[in-house]
Amino acid sequence: MIKTAEINGILCRYYFTGKVYVSKDGTVAGMPNYRWGGYKQLSIIEDEGRKYIKVNKNKSVRLDLAVMRCFGPPMPVDSKRYMINHKDGDLLNCDVNNLEWAIHHYEHTAEDSIVLNCCGNRITAFKDGHIEKDGKTMTVYDSIYDPDVELKVCIDPHIAVSRPRSIYHEHINIDKIMEVAGYIQGDDMILSCPQILHIDNDWKNFSSDNLMWVEYDDERFKSYQLKKKEDKHKRNVELNPGQVLHPGM
């Protein structure tokens, strides 16, 4: 049985995964007010070009997904991967009549640069693999300090950004940025378990002509992962001179 609630005079349905109620047109969201009874309306915010239901300071729920799950048809169950398509092209219009399930195709671009919204920051990804913010090249980090082992640990290359009015840095993977920008060659839709291959086996070369979609069990990807593991171990040794490291590091 579908759970419903009336919030500010608008009929809403319960989105079980997000533990929230949402309206058919995507303009109202809420949850039970456990302290005073009834229901309290939740804020709908914009972040990185999409709308989210703000549940609390640590949790938000994607609005279009909540609306589609509550009011739209079920996602097709087959071997294909699906995404929510906004029919009018406006990702902020989350009315169920504007939403549909569409087969996911990766959109590759030949543009020299792409502007992205990254955690509330405007950044530019370039075809050669470097990232800029406010016209300056951003530093790419490949390590963090792990207090549990009291060592510096090599991780996948990333940039560090802070959301507006936050003092905490978030690590954003460069592979992911290049993926969102459209700089991975090929179409991941035809693959069952798509992975990003660095063709020259250099895990720090993010040039568009060096990145392509391959299957997880592709021998080229296996070789790349092995080389990457060896390089990371060497980097861990450099980061922690004089330390005895676990063979897995």
Query: Does residue 249 carry a pLDDT above 80?
Result: no
Cβ atoms within 10 A of the Cβ of 161, count? Answer: 18
The residue ranges of every structural domain in the chain are 4-103, 113-239
Report the CATH fold assignment for 4-103.
Answer: Homing Intron 3 (I-Ppo) Encoded Endonuclease; Chain A (3.90.75)
pTM over 0.75: no
* Domains 4-103 and 113-239 fall in the same CATH topology: yes
- Is the CA virtual torsion 58, 99, 177, 123 positive or negative? negative
pLDDT digits (tens, 9 = 90+) for 27-73: 999 999 888 888 999 999 988 778 999 998 888 999 999 999 999 99
Question: What confidence score (pLDDT) does residue 133 get?
Answer: 95
Q: How many angstroms separate the Cα of 220 from the Cα of each of 36, 125, 129?
A: 59, 26, 21
Cβ atoms within 10 A of the Cβ of 61, count? Answer: 20
CATH tag for 113-239 (out of 2.60.40.420, 3.40.50.1980, 3.90.75.20, 3.40.190.10)? 3.90.75.20
d(CA 70, CA 47): 22
Whether residue 125 contacts residue 137, with contact meaning beta carbons closer than 8 Å, is answered with no
Q: How many angstroms separate the Cα of 2 from the Cα of each of 14, 69, 234?
A: 7, 12, 55
Question: What confidence score (pLDDT) does residue 95 get?
Answer: 97
Cβ-in-10-Å burial (0-12, 13-18, 19+) of 8 comes to exposed
In eight-state DSSP terms, residue 164 is T
Work out the pLDDT band at 5, boundaries 50, 70, 90: very high
Query: Does residue 164 carry a pLDDT above 80?
Result: no
Question: What confidence score (pLDDT) does residue 166 get?
Answer: 78
Highest mean pLDDT among 75-79, 224-228, 240-244: 224-228
